[in-house]
A and B are shown apart, each in its own frame.
Chain A
Amino acid sequence: MTRDGIASFRNPWFTASVGITAAIALVAAIVGFVWLPLQHPGERFKGVWDAICSAAGLVRNTSSGGQIVGADYLTTSVEIDPQMLEGASAESIGRGATLALRCTMCHGARGLSQADTPNLAGQYPVTIYKELVDFKTGARASAVMAPVMADLSDADMRDLAAYFAYLPRVTSSGPAAGEPPRIVASGAPLRGIAPCGACHGEVDSKASAAWLEGQPAIYLRTQLEAFSTGARHNDIGEQMRNIARQMTAAEIAVASAFYAERP
């Protein structure tokens, strides 16, 4: 038999192998694309073609599906990307310093709080910017912050973020924390709790997640409790709410105390 003769229906090897392969593929296709989809009692296909399209993976607009259920509360409007707010200009920082005078009452003259509010000095600019926007839009509720934010423009909030990020981060003067408690170091895999450091610094940093070291314990605890009840809900993926809901009161207390004491 010559080489040219291989791809010929006179060659029994060709006829048999192509025929058997095609037959298997055809029968499998009929079963997989027509018969099996039509056996699903929950699916309401408009016809065989509709079933085939569904089995092929096409996105279909059915009468039952397609409705997107929105949240019944305000969610954050900030779209974060890792490079945003990088490389702030000196002018931006200067404007931010002026605007920051209105923050000093609670957050201290140089971003270091004496009032159990967060220390802002050296915080990531993306984190500050996102929280400011959320306070302004109401995605994060605060009777104190909302009126302060009322007249700030988007540029103002970027300048404030640049200024606070520019300030030197001051390490805690308190006693150094010991080994991290288990909930901080390991999380609790069976309850879906990741280690805090997976987003907040020690292991990895995720955009918009704050660093927590030296923040007031009472502030950290209040926020975790607010996340767990849903009173605070400006984590658009529910990442903090899902974690906080699963934490016990004791774990919240120990994690907050640990970060407050950590330099």
Chain B
Amino acid sequence: MWNSKRLVLAHLWFAFAGFGAALLLGEWQMFIRSPLHAWISDPEWYYRSVTAHGTTMAYVFPTLVAMGFGYFVAEEALKQPLVGLRWAWLGFALVAIGTIAAIVPVALGLASVLYTFYPPLIGNPSYYIGVVLVVVGSWVWVALMSINMYRWKRDNPGAPVPFPMFATVAGSYLWGWTAVGAALELLFQIIPVALGWRSTIDAGLARVFFSWTLHAIVYFWLMPSYIAYYTIVPRAIGGRLFSDTMGRIAFILFLVVAMPIGIHHAFEDPQIGSGFKYLHSVFTALVALPTVLTVFTICASVEIAGRLRGGKGVLGWLAALPWRNPVMLGAALSFVMLGFGGAGGLINMSYQLNATVHNTQWITGHFHLIFAGAIVIMYFVIAYDIWPHLTGRALDSFRLMRAQLWTWFLGMIVLTFPWHWVGILGMPRRMAFYDYTDPAIAAQAASVTMSVVGGAILVVSGVLFFIVLVHGMTTQRVQPGTYRFSVAVRPPRVLPAALNGFGLWLGLMVALTIVNYGFPIAHSLATPGTAVPAVKVGERW
């Protein structure tokens, strides 16, 4: 590790601190609207909390993990000092300042608009400007990832870019482009109204812009976890990566098809034509492909490890796997949650099936299972794996790590399965109050109570996570040695240019965006009378 240890640690600590606070808010929300607690009478507190929880968990936490892990990969995979360290600190400062600028008005009740903004609701401008600063700070990271890769390629002409770096740059490009949608919405629509320059807003167009960001942002959250599947898991369990090429193709597919599919979040929006909804539905189905490739490749890689450890027969290799290794355990639990979450996702992306679960608690259950479950559990694994290389101290509380991963998994299942269930029963999401005394929903009380218990297990798991990390800052100093990523069964010697760079794929990504979003956006812009009066939040009108 050359010179970015403190940088990576700063990113991860800030990310995890935000995660810890937002986790508590999440459980509080679950509790106060459950049958276990009397109605708090003022829904504003609930929405304030949801806004803080969502903003921290969706924008700040995963962005900082992706950035910190990206800087780590850039140095360790390319075996060269990070180019642009000062710029990286500037990016971090922008994210940190942006977070504070966004969260303070939320805490004061001046921007209870939820992290998805929901115009025509308009909150305090500081909230939106803070979110923009977070995005701009992350764009510094996008640029640095690109610069570091191209600097390396210049110095190593013709050599294959190490896979961890290739995948990280794919993730950064995906984020760089997908964040443009929300940035356009904020800069040209919301912030002018929040600052009082305009009094009306085209909420339909804003929703189209946000959908541009809203789906691919999930794949941006997913990227560090997928990179860990490919580059950490096989090495940590003593195996080999089954195919380097398959990995590159999976990340390329994410880059191309994760972006132009967001309108499946707006299936019920009347301002978008049904043809575009269908088009987005088709490309959403395609984005399952890189996940299928990944599941296949990682299972094959894990099987290699099992057989190298002496496992025999059709399933005997499973028993031979090092299940006591937190990386193995975390990856397996992540896959289980990814399987359930992905199956639910297939429902959401289908135009007709979506109508049965749209805006119900099913959706909340779905994205928690995928993001907070499958993705975040791998963030824990990443932290456990790289922590000794960042701190120079042993991270040896394996029993605690296993307990933490198991409780996170169990808590997430107990939280989200009842959510899915009540969603099917029709329970709407984003509501502060449910009257469980009404016979119509009295039967849902038990399921909701179960979710509260799941949330409490997650809080316990969160506490264990911090105990492991803090303990890891105080143990004896060790020499962790050189950090190693997984090695492929057949490491690439020469790669076609298409698998060693991004020009072609960025071109396809932008072209598909124009095809899938160009007309709906142009149509909204060209249609008169689509703006509605803004509704200011946090002001008495």
**Chain A residues engaging chain B, CB cutoff 8 angstroms:** 1-3, 5-7, 11, 13-14, 17-18, 21, 24-25, 28-29, 31-33, 36-37, 52, 54-59, 81-82, 180, 185-186, 188-190, 195, 198, 203-207
* A55 to B441 alpha-carbon distance, docked (Å): 38
> Is B343 among interface residues, defined by CB-CB distance under 8 A?
no
Question: How far, in Å, is B518 (CB) from chain A's closest CB?
Answer: 11
- Chain A residue nearest to B271 (CB atoms) is A57
| A25 & B272 in contact (Cβ 8 Å cutoff) | no
> Is B504 among interface residues, defined by CB-CB distance under 8 A?
yes
Which of B232-240, B274-282, B404-412 sits within the interface?
B274-282
| B278 & A36 in contact (Cβ 8 Å cutoff) | yes
B:490-505 near A, CB below 8 Å: 496-499, 501, 503-505
Note all chain A residues with C-beta closer than 8 A to B498: 6, 11, 13-14, 17
Known: A189-B433, A206-B541. A24 touches B282 (CB 8 A): yes
Known: A5-B497, A25-B512. A56 touches B435 (CB 8 A): no
Known: A7-B503, A57-B523, A186-B435. A28 touches B279 (CB 8 A): yes
| A/B interface sample: 29 pairs, CB < 8 A | A1-B496, A3-B497, A3-B503, A6-B504, A11-B498, A13-B499, A17-B504, A21-B256, A24-B283, A25-B512, A29-B279, A32-B282, A33-B278, A36-B275, A52-B275, A55-B273, A55-B278, A56-B273, A57-B274, A57-B275, A57-B519, A58-B273, A186-B433, A189-B433, A189-B435, A190-B438, A203-B44, A204-B44, A207-B541
* A28 to B516 alpha-carbon distance, docked (Å): 11
Question: How far, in Å, is A243 (CB) from chain B's closest CB?
Answer: 15
Note all chain A residues with C-beta closer than 8 A to B520: 57
Note all chain A residues with C-beta closer than 8 A to B497: 1-3, 5-6, 11, 13
Which of B35-43, B183-191, B373-381, B389-397 sits within the interface?
B35-43
| B523 & A14 in contact (Cβ 8 Å cutoff) | no
Note all chain A residues with C-beta closer than 8 A to B271: 57
* A25 to B517 alpha-carbon distance, docked (Å): 13
| A58 & B523 in contact (Cβ 8 Å cutoff) | yes
| B508 & A204 in contact (Cβ 8 Å cutoff) | no
Note all chain B residues with C-beta closer than 8 A to A11: 497-498
> Is B540 among interface residues, defined by CB-CB distance under 8 A?
yes
Note all chain B residues with C-beta closer than 8 A to A24: 282-283, 286
Question: How far, in Å, is A27 (CB) from chain B's closest CB?
Answer: 8
Note all chain A residues with C-beta closer than 8 A to B39: 185-186
Question: How far, in Å, is B160 (CB) from chain A's closest CB?
Answer: 13
- Chain A residue nearest to B505 (CB atoms) is A17
Note all chain A residues with C-beta closer than 8 A to B480: none
Note all chain A residues with C-beta closer than 8 A to B279: 25, 28-29, 32
Give the residue among A6, A58, A81 with the most B Cβ atoms within 10 A.
A6
Note all chain B residues with C-beta closer than 8 A to A206: 541
| B276 & A56 in contact (Cβ 8 Å cutoff) | yes
> Is B507 among interface residues, defined by CB-CB distance under 8 A?
yes
Q: A24-B286, A189-B434, A195-B41 are in contact. List 9 more A-B contacts (CB 8 A).
A: A1-B497, A6-B504, A11-B498, A55-B275, A57-B519, A57-B520, A188-B435, A190-B438, A195-B43
Note all chain B residues with C-beta closer than 8 A to A18: 508
Please list the 5 inter-chain residue pairs (A to B) with the smallest Cβ-Cβ separation, ordered nearest first: A57-B273, A55-B275, A32-B278, A13-B498, A33-B275
> Is B463 among interface residues, defined by CB-CB distance under 8 A?
no
* A6 to B508 alpha-carbon distance, docked (Å): 12
Known: A11-B498, A207-B541. A55 touches B274 (CB 8 A): yes
* A1 to B498 alpha-carbon distance, docked (Å): 9
- Chain A residue nearest to B435 (CB atoms) is A189
Question: How far, in Å, is A10 (CB) from chain B's closest CB?
Answer: 12
Question: How far, in Å, is B507 (CB) from chain A's closest CB?
Answer: 7
| A28 & B282 in contact (Cβ 8 Å cutoff) | yes
Question: How far, in Å, is B156 (CB) from chain A's closest CB?
Answer: 15
Note all chain A residues with C-beta closer than 8 A to B496: 1, 13
> Is B440 among interface residues, defined by CB-CB distance under 8 A?
yes
Give the residue among B43, B44, B520 with the most A Cβ atoms within 10 A.
B43
> Is B316 among interface residues, defined by CB-CB distance under 8 A?
no
Note all chain B residues with C-beta closer than 8 A to A17: 256, 498, 504-505, 508
| A57 & B441 in contact (Cβ 8 Å cutoff) | no
| A31 & B278 in contact (Cβ 8 Å cutoff) | yes
* A186 to B38 alpha-carbon distance, docked (Å): 11
- Chain A residue nearest to B260 (CB atoms) is A25
* A106 to B183 alpha-carbon distance, docked (Å): 57
| B283 & A28 in contact (Cβ 8 Å cutoff) | yes
B:433-447 near A, CB below 8 Å: 433-435, 438, 440-441
Note all chain B residues with C-beta closer than 8 A to A190: 435, 438, 440-441
| A37 & B274 in contact (Cβ 8 Å cutoff) | yes
> Is B431 among interface residues, defined by CB-CB distance under 8 A?
yes
B:246-281 near A, CB below 8 Å: 256, 271-279
Give the residue among B271, B274, B286, B496 with the most A Cβ atoms within 10 A.
B274
Question: How far, in Å, is A36 (CB) from chain B's closest CB?
Answer: 6
Note all chain A residues with C-beta closer than 8 A to B283: 24, 28
- Chain A residue nearest to B498 (CB atoms) is A13
- Binary A-proximity of B498-541 (CB < 8 A = 1, otherwise 0): 11010111011001100100011001000100000100100011
* A29 to B540 alpha-carbon distance, docked (Å): 47
Note all chain B residues with C-beta closer than 8 A to A203: 42-44
